[in-house]
Amino acid sequence: MKFFVDTADVADIKDLAASGLLDGVTTNPSLIMKANRPMFDVIKEICALVPGPVSAETVSTDHKRMLEEGRKLAKLAKNVAVKVPLTPDGLKTCKVLRSEGIMVNVTLCFSAAQALLAAKADASFISPFVGRIDDNGHDGMMLIDEIMTIYRQYPHFKTEVLVASIRHTQHVVRAAKMGAHVATVPPNVLRGLFKHVLTDIGLKAFLDDWAKTGQSIL
């Protein structure tokens, strides 16, 4: 499974990229607002830090303007993945951008039927929002299971399932068990994957015993 981080905080991205865990980054207008910096500057800087796909989202709703925005965003760096909404105009834009060799992340997916349409439009990534589905009283991970089941029936589909709106580490684990291609994870959840109480207890015991030996490696 690939790990993307869902943030526009460059400091967080630098820190996580140093671990070698990051395969890409996803941003959206809300994350850009939190960064409180010009969007183009943020995207360029992130693309220089991470060699994998960096999602940058269009903000228009009509096909013509969305296409213009997508082309402009794609020029910022070779690893930009243009993000478009799962609407008729969004999928029209996806189809054109993909024909031009531009990566496209189709976002705001909430049904298997929508995911099927995105694959038909040759999306590079489809982003189902599991956390938001959970918030509305349903199991978001069931949607991932449905999408993966459908995509496996059609090997010619090249669209990767990018699990989005992840709220906790079990979302990541369940997505991996289902074979999802990518999880885009908030920085705190990605760091949470390291944590286990038995790791902390074991490390403390080893260090305490080492201190008793009076030795030093350096």
**Active site members:** 83
Q: Which helix (H) or strand (E) segment is 159 a member of?
A: none
Closest C-alpha among 146, 149, 141 to residue 166: 141
Could you give the CA distance from residue 36 to residue 8 in angstroms, rounded to a whole number?
10
CA torsion sign for 45, 47, 50, 51 is: negative
Could you give the CA distance from residue 115 to residue 94 in angstroms, rounded to a whole number?
13
Task: Tell me if 202 sits within 8 A of 172, measured CB to CB.
Answer: no
Question: In sequence order, which residues have a C-beta less than 8 Å from that of residue 34 and are 6 or more positions away?
Answer: 8, 9
Q: Is 22 exposed, middle or buried (0-12, 13-18, 19+ CB in 10 A)?
A: buried
Could you give the CA distance from residue 175 to residue 145 in angstroms, rounded to a whole number?
8
